[in-house]
Amino acid sequence: MRIDANLERSTLSQIGVSLLLLAMLLTGNPVLANNTFNVAVEYSGEPLSVGRHFQFYEDSAAELELGDILLDRDFGERGLIWQSIEEDVPNFGYTDSVFWFRTAINNITRDHAQLVLSIDYPLLDQVDVFFLRDGKVVRSFMTGDSRPFSSRAIPHRKFVFPIALNPGQGTELYMRIASEGAVQVPAHVMDQERFFLEDMSELAIKCVYYGMMLVMVLYNLFLYASVREKAYLFYVGFVSCFALMQAAMHGVLFQVGYPGLPDLHQLSVLVLVPATMLFACLFSVSFLDLRSHSPVLESLLRWLVLASLMCVVGAFGLNYGSSTRISVLLVVVASLLMLVSGPVAWYRGQSSARYYTIAWLLLLVGTTSMALSKFAVLPSNLFTEYGLMIGSAAEAILLSFALADRLNGEKEARYLAQQEQLRATQERMRAEEALLYTSTHEAVTGLPNRVPLFECLDRLVSEKHVPRFAVVKVSMGRSDEVAKTLGHDNAEQIVAAFARRLCLKVESMSEAMAIIGDKQVVHYEPYAFLFLLELHHTAGLKNLLAHMRRELSAPIEYQDMLIDVGTLMGASIYPDHSDNGLELVKQAQIAMGFSEETEYIYDHSLNPYSERRLRLMGELQTAIEQNQLTLHFQPQLDVNSGRVVGAEALIRWNHPEYGYIPPMEFIPHAEQTGLIKLLTAWVFDHALFALRQLMDKGEEMDISINISAANLHETNLVRNIQAMLSKHNVPANRLKIEITETAIMLNPDNALRVLTHLHNIGVKIAVDDFGTGHSSLSYIKKLPADEIKIDRSFVTDMSVNPDDEVIVSTTISMCHNLGYSVVAEGIEDSTTLAKLAALECDVAQGYYHSRPLPFDDFQSWLATLAEQAPA
Ligand code: C2E
Ligand code: MG
Ligand code: MG
């Protein structure tokens, strides 16, 4: 006897089928029985499995009719050899043969028996049943699933045939079975009532099963509708096809769905098996995300998807046998692959794969235990009997659970991703804040830098909330020296210490304005700071800054050293000087340049960086070379006699475009650029030339020439002056050199050396602008000076300002005590002259007598004076 897979089980329980095959191979063929018709079913009231009670004949040519069989029985005409069966379920697998079965059913009870013969395999194509009594056919049924449902003796999904037997009565049974699928005959004889009772409970179980599968399908369909995740759809396809396939194989679909269409019933079985596999493979690929976790398994399963699709299509064309054989192969390969895919994906980190793996294992356990119970390896009970259904239901539930878990996992992953995004955003914001902080603050001091300063200034200027404020710049004047001596790192420490001191000071000032947050001081340049002061009136600002500067100038203690950083300060005022932030800061910087001269507040006229100034500076050299400069002369008169004893030569620049340019505007630049050397030489040349002319006219007077601090550093200054004196043939004692007190104090040692040298060659020395340079008389005393010129700022107003008068009076007497002649400059009226005379001042110079005059005018002035003088 051939052995084959049980199609129903094999197609559904993929792994089970292999085991079933193996088991059947091991159990071997049924044993041949003898040729006598000695088999019978003795019905004693209990249900009977009739497999072993049959004899069968294989009609390989499919040529025999019942008549032929009966003739052979009666007359041995054909010599047919009937074989006995040693199994409960005769199974001949796939075969083209027709099988004849025969047995007798005897009622050995004392009751009338209303029995049924049921053949529990609904996929047999042709089932012809003949009941004979006394050698005659009394009842026959021609049915099978290739015939309409109406051919059935009793309308039932299985093949059920009624048998009525009186007590002790018997009937002969002949069956002809042919099928394109597996030929297996699980036949039972039992009491009709009992059959239907048992059938009802079996149906109840199946209803529960189909109901549950339906719920799973609907639930996941609903989920698919809401989450639009393909895995749900594949799951729905898989479970639907699986359940429909079961229903087709149980015969339910045929009975309920299309009882008149046996062809459709045949086709549905052929289509539903590969369709189930198609969806199972698609589901596995999608659910396990095999593309990420195992591309090899993914492509294998995708090939199977293609194969399944071809099987589905093939079902319409191929014959039943080939189609089912290919499907069985497909099922075996796909089941193995899916069984492997779960653990692989699980191992590669797909956590939901654990449910998938367990789900397929449950199906395997269910089908295997059912298969094993068929071979009595396991006891037959509810679980083993319905193993496939229980396994598949458990699988469906677990896969549904797995989908929910995956949904949950994805939700969690999304949540985590959002969290991560949030964290990244916060991180970025923190980084941006840090970046913003570093871009708006100086690392060394932690103070805001120029960025927030200009934002604040722009705001102040545009909003105009504060009507008047000062921009104050504070700088470490000796920063260069400090950095070069102590190194960059130490310099930074000193800058930080200086900043702390400045901040403390500024914080204590109620007028100080916040620039960013509560920070009031800006670290503007490596060695310079800025702050803003609200001004109610300008008057006190200069004193305030002077006072502050003194406080900030105290040496900084650093590593046992006392470091003098040389504080410089300068301020500009909004809106007086500008209403532009950048401009105000520039002006404060310029004003800082004056702080050496105790001027702290910006003044347009002093701005060395104005356009006019820059232009003038560019043109100065040409002006000197092209004689655009002239000398004016201002007379100096003996206070007592009124005699002209000298004249001060004062340089003038009459610019072709700007007109008269005061020396205070271009001398400082000449000093900075070195042009002062050329300029001074020019002055000497022209002044001595003029003096020579005056001397030639018999004037007995000195000429005073101003020199700058820079001239004191000229190597050949003395020699050049000597050369100039001889050039114009002027004796040295007629030349008086004026140098300001401030210029002397810039480098007192050098000043002393040069001036002594000049003094030694006979030139007279005058200390100019005395009283403004904070020098002490005790120092002046060391200088070889002949004359002290009291600054005109004390003189001009002395007649109205008693303080000035005191200063002038004290200076005159002190200078006389030290043996100096005293010149008062800036005399503008007779009262002042009279006062000076009273104070015994020696020489007077000022507008009262004459403004500085061009040489010709000066000569005329001298002539007029001579005319007026009493002979
Ligand atoms: P200084 O040497 O003190 O010159 C006196 C200044 O006082 C002159 O200003 C003069 O015009 C002005 N002055 C004289 N009497 C009166 C008066 O009664 N009232 C007023 N308000 N002012 C009076 P100037 O000519 O503008 O010169 C300014 C300064 O420029 C000079 O101050 C001097 O320091 C410098 N300077 C002038 N010429 C030269 C020069 O050839 N070489 C150098 N190095 N400096 C020069
Ligand atoms: Mg002078
Ligand atoms: Mg002067």
610-656 tens-digit pLDDT: 667 777 778 888 888 888 899 999 999 999 999 999 999 999 998 88
What is the 696 CA–ligand 1 centroid distance (Å)? 26
Per the CB < 8 A criterion, the answer to whether 343 and 353 are in contact is yes
The binding-site residues of ligand 1, defined as CB within 6 angstroms of any ligand atom, are 634, 650-651, 662-664, 667, 683, 706-708, 738, 768-769, 792, 796, 825-828, 845-847, 852
- Quick one: average pLDDT of 348-365? 86
**Percentage of the residues of the chain whose pLDDT score is greater than 70:** 92
274-304 tens-digit pLDDT: 999 999 999 999 988 899 889 999 999 999 9
Q: Which has the closest alpha carbon to 601: 543, 554, 547, 548? A: 543
Which residue is listed with tokens 């190597």?
Answer: 715
Strands 659-661 and 629-638: unpaired
Average pLDDT, the chain: 86
How far is it, in rounded angstroms, from Cα 529 to Cα 515? 13
Per the CB < 8 A criterion, the answer to whether 84 and 39 are in contact is yes
Per the CB < 8 A criterion, the answer to whether 268 and 244 are in contact is yes
Q: Which residue's CA lies nearest to atom 46 of ligand 1? A: 706
794-816 tens-digit pLDDT: 898 888 888 789 889 999 998 99
At residue 871, the pLDDT reads 55
Choose one of 632, 650, 686, 742 to mutate for the ligand 1 pocket test, by most ligand atoms within 8 angstroms of C-beta. Answer: 650
Distances (CA, A) of 831 to 596, 800, 846, 858: 34, 10, 13, 24
At residue 98, the pLDDT reads 95
Which ligand 1 atom is at minimum distance from the Cα of 738? 2
**Percentage of the residues of the chain whose pLDDT score is greater than 90:** 48
What is the 788 CA–ligand 2 centroid distance (Å)? 11
Which ligand 1 atom is at minimum distance from the Cα of 769? 3
At residue 598, the pLDDT reads 61
Which ligand 1 atom is at minimum distance from the Cα of 683? 41
- Quick one: average pLDDT of 417-446? 90
How far is it, in rounded angstroms, from Cα 684 to Cα 648? 12
Q: Which of 246-260, 337-351, 358-372 has the lowest mean pLDDT?
A: 358-372
Residue type present at position 656: P
Q: 736 or 70: whose pLDDT is higher?
A: 736
pLDDT band at 857 (very low <50, low <70, confident <90, very high): very high
pLDDT at 187 over 80: yes
Q: Which of 409-418, 678-687, 752-761, 851-860 has the lowest mean pLDDT?
A: 409-418
Q: Which residue's CA lies nearest to atom 8 of ligand 1? A: 650
What is the 426 CA–ligand 1 centroid distance (Å)? 68
H helical segments located in 469-610: 479-486, 488-507, 541-552, 581-594
Residue type present at position 351: S
Q: Which has the closest alpha carbon to 265: 185, 149, 98? A: 149
What is the 852 CA–ligand 1 centroid distance (Å)? 9
Residues with CB under 5 A from ligand 2 (ion): 706, 738, 768
Q: Which residue's CA lies nearest to atom 5 of ligand 1? A: 825
Q: Which of 43-47, 53-57, 583-587, 756-760 has the lowest mean pLDDT?
A: 43-47
Inter-axis angle of helices 14-27 and 353-374, nearest 10: 30
**Paired tokens of 9:** 């089980």
Count of Cβ atoms closer than 10 Å to residue 733 Cβ: 13
Q: 596 or 154: whose pLDDT is higher?
A: 154
Distances (CA, A) of 745 to 550, 705, 749: 19, 19, 9
Which ligand 1 atom is at minimum distance from the Cα of 631? 41
Assessment of whether the complete model's pTM goes beyond 0.75? no
What is the 650 CA–ligand 1 centroid distance (Å)? 6
Q: Which has the closest alpha carbon to 80: 90, 91, 92, 67? A: 67
Q: 631 or 36: whose pLDDT is higher?
A: 631
DSSP 699-743: ---EEEEE--GGGGG-TTHHHHHHHHHHHHT--GGGEEEEEEHHH
What is the 706 CA–ligand 2 centroid distance (Å)? 5
